[in-house]
């Protein structure tokens, strides 16, 4: 797949890949990193700074996946680095309560007034898994509604036609998930309010929760149609189900208060991750106190975690959210303007080469679909020309631009991306498209 020039340019990465394949299935610790859907072998990262990744062979890349969302302030952002270093000197973990947990929690609540109480965990998967358990306990119901193309981590009940990873692997659901568990999950088309109404009608009194990505990032970027989110909120209320907004990806990205601020949503529970940890492992689930106080040690719902509220992760999250909040008036407009120039500029170069792309973007996250579009749900996204996306990805990587290695992932802009990176990326796209036609 890779041209000889590419291979020689990445000899160390290729050797590291071979070594990793003797340690990890597919040589990776998360499937999408294996590049299976775009072809070629992945570069191995040595270090990163600002908007750039540097691989084991010394190649430099403009980074458009940012650790899949967390690195909104850029890599090795000095205040975050210093905060982690200071915390590490006091020991990496205590397994006991610290003031830092409340410091970060209060920052989160300042961004999300919808969150009355919360609990820290160590991943987005833990956050959504715990939120589902809480919703089932609060309603004494078993069924949940999720949406095709939305990915909420790899808990059994949510690996039912998930988007990220699973969609890339072309496996609806996953081996190893008992059908008894999967059958409790209704996987409906996104942006189709009638499907949700029909589900509630078909399962009266049985549905504990609706969970969704308010803006889908795991089928590529798909935006909610006008009124859709508010319609889901109303249906959940009408039928006594909880409305869970999975903001692991959109949280603190679309606005300081994420999609909830952007779309003025008032969910019962909200899950967060990625940016909230500044690149360290943090997940959050939180919401109305009437639900959160069902959690042990107060209530009957058990949930726990050895490294929940880890002091280094708290320090990184505090430094990240503090900077985002204190400089929001500059950061979010810059993110939006930079992303707009980037996505529109690349799409314009495609048109010059006779290639039709559909661009779905909101703020600093978006996707170039190799499709005539429109892309409003997973079924439409799945019709994209993934082979063409793979060729584009490889051509851009050879030109020093590292896009997310899947048509079904969102690309992210960070605060350190600017005119220089946009101009270089558009030029790389211009010569890449020329190789595709």
Instruction: Just list the catalytic residues.
Output: 151, 246, 274
Site string for ligand KE4, 175-214 (x = CB under 6 A): --------------------------------------x-
For residues 129-168, which are near ligand KE4 according to CB under 6 A? 151-153, 164-165
Q: Are 270 and 286 in contact (CB under 8 A)?
A: yes
When asked if residue 124 is in the footprint of ligand KE4 (CB under 6 A), the reply is: yes
Of the listed pieces 8-16, 124-132, 137-145, 232-240, which binds ligand KE4 according to CB under 6 A? Answer: 124-132
**Inter-helix orientation angle 419-436/328-352, to 10°:** 20
Shortest Å, Cβ 127 to ligand KE4: 7
Q: Which residues contact 104 (CB under 8 A, 6 or more apart)?
A: 120, 276, 314, 317, 318, 321
- Is the CB of 68 or the CB of 200 nearer to ligand KE4? 68
- Is the CB of 123 or the CB of 191 nearer to ligand KE4? 123
Of the listed pieces 18-26, 242-250, 259-267, 334-342, which binds ligand KE4 according to CB under 6 A? Answer: 242-250
Shortest Å, Cβ 145 to ligand KE4: 16
DSSP secondary structure string, 115-160?
Answer: -SEEEEESSHHHHHHHHHHHHHHHHT--EEEEETT----S-GGG-S
Phi and psi angles of residue 61, each rounded to the nearest 5 degrees, phi first? -130, 145
Compute the distance between CA of residue 360 and CA of residue 248 in angstroms, rounded to an integer. Answer: 19
For residues 49-68, which are near ligand KE4 according to CB under 6 A? 68
Shortest Å, Cβ 367 to ligand KE4: 11
- Is the CB of 52 or the CB of 68 nearer to ligand KE4? 68
- Is the CB of 101 or the CB of 409 nearer to ligand KE4? 409
Of 407, 405, 352, the closest CA to residue 384 belongs to: 407
When asked if residue 380 is in the footprint of ligand KE4 (CB under 6 A), the reply is: no
Site string for ligand KE4, 408-427 (x = CB under 6 A): -x------------------
Phi and psi angles of residue 432, each rounded to the nearest 5 degrees, phi first? -70, -45
Shortest Å, Cβ 58 to ligand KE4: 25
The residue from 114, 128, 407, 425 that contacts ligand KE4 (CB under 6 A) is: 128
Compute the distance between CA of residue 283 and CA of residue 141 in angstroms, rounded to an integer. Answer: 25
Q: Are 160 and 185 in contact (CB under 8 A)?
A: yes
The encoded tokens of residue 81 equal 């680095």
When asked if residue 267 is in the footprint of ligand KE4 (CB under 6 A), the reply is: no
Distances (CA, A) of 63 to 47, 71, 338, 422: 12, 10, 14, 11
Site string for ligand KE4, 4-23 (x = CB under 6 A): --------------------
For residues 68-107, which are near ligand KE4 according to CB under 6 A? 68
- Is the CB of 50 or the CB of 281 nearer to ligand KE4? 281
Shortest Å, Cβ 37 to ligand KE4: 12
Residue 168 burial (C-beta neighbours within 10 Å; 0-12, 13-18, 19+): buried
When asked if residue 248 is in the footprint of ligand KE4 (CB under 6 A), the reply is: yes
CB-based closest residue to ligand KE4 = 124
Q: Are 410 and 64 in contact (CB under 8 A)?
A: no
- Is the CB of 32 or the CB of 295 nearer to ligand KE4? 32
Q: Are 283 and 121 in contact (CB under 8 A)?
A: yes
Of 359, 129, 361, 280, the closest CA to residue 370 belongs to: 359
Compute the distance between CA of residue 114 and CA of residue 94 in angstroms, rounded to an integer. Answer: 30
Q: Which residues contact 425 (CB under 8 A, 6 or more apart)?
A: 62, 64, 342, 345, 346, 396, 401
Compute the distance between CA of residue 432 and CA of residue 437 in angstroms, rounded to an integer. Answer: 9
C-alpha angle 144-148-150 in degrees, rounded to nearest 5: 85
When asked if residue 218 is in the footprint of ligand KE4 (CB under 6 A), the reply is: yes
Of the listed pieces 43-51, 119-127, 253-261, 303-311, which binds ligand KE4 according to CB under 6 A? Answer: 119-127
- Is the CB of 216 or the CB of 395 nearer to ligand KE4? 216
For residues 272-331, which are near ligand KE4 according to CB under 6 A? 273
Q: Which residues contact 429 (CB under 8 A, 6 or more apart)?
A: 345, 346, 349, 350, 396, 401
Of the listed pieces 121-129, 130-138, 287-295, 389-397, which binds ligand KE4 according to CB under 6 A? Answer: 121-129
Binding site for ligand KE4 (CB under 6 A): 30, 32, 68, 123-125, 128, 151-153, 164-165, 213, 217-218, 246, 248-249, 273, 409
């Amino acid at each position: 797949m890779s041209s000889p020039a590419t291979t020689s340019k990445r000899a160390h990465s290729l050797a590291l890949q071979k070594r990793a394949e003797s340690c990890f299935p597919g040589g990776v610790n998360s499937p999408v990193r294996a590049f299976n859907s775009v072809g070629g072998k992945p570069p191995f990262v040595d270090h990163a700074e600002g908007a750039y990744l540097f691989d084991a062979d010394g190649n430099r890349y403009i980074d458009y996946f940012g650790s899949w969302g967390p690195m909104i302030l850029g890599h090795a952002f000095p205040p975050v680095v210093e905060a982690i270093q200071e915390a590490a000197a006091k020991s990496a973990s205590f397994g006991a309560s610290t003031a830092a947990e409340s410091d970060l929690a209060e920052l989160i609540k300042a961004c999300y007034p919808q969150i009355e109480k919360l609990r820290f965990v160590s991943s987005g998967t833990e956050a959504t898994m715990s939120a589902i358990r809480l919703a089932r306990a609060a309603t004494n119901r078993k069924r949940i509604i999720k949406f095709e193309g939305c990915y909420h981590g790899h808990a059994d009940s949510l690996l039912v036609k998930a988007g990220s990873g699973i969609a890339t692997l072309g496996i609806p659901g996953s081996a190893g998930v008992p059908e008894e568990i999967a059958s409790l999950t209704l996987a409906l088309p996104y942006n189709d309010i009638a499907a949700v109404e029909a589900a509630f009608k078909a399962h009266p009194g049985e549905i504990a929760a609706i969970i969704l990505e308010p803006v889908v990032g795991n089928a590529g970027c798909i935006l909610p149609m006008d009124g859709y989110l508010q319609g889901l909120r109303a249906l959940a209320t009408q039928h006594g189900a909880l409305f869970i907004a999975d903001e692991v990806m959109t949280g603190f990205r679309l606005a300081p208060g994420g999609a909830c601020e952007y779309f003025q949503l008032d969910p019962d529970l909200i899950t967060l991750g990625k940016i909230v940890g500044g690149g360290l492992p943090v997940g959050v689930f939180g919401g109305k106190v009437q639900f959160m106080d069902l959690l042990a040690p107060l209530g009957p719902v058990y949930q726990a975690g050895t490294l929940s509220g880890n002091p280094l992760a708290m320090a990184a999250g505090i430094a990240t959210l503090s900077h985002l909040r204190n400089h929001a008036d500059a950061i979010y407009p810059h993110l939006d303007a930079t992303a707009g120039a980037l996505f529109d500029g690349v799409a314009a170069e495609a048109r010059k080469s006779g290639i039709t792309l559909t661009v779905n973007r909101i703020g600093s996250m978006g996707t170039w679909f190799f499709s005539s579009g429109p892309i409003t749900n997973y079924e439409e996204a799945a019709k994209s020309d993934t082979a063409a996306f793979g060729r584009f990805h490889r051509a851009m990587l050879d030109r020093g631009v590292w896009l997310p290695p899947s048509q079904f992932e969102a690309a992210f802009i960070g605060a350190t991306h600017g005119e220089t990176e946009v101009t270089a990326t558009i030029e790389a796209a211009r010569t890449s498209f020329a190789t595709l036609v």
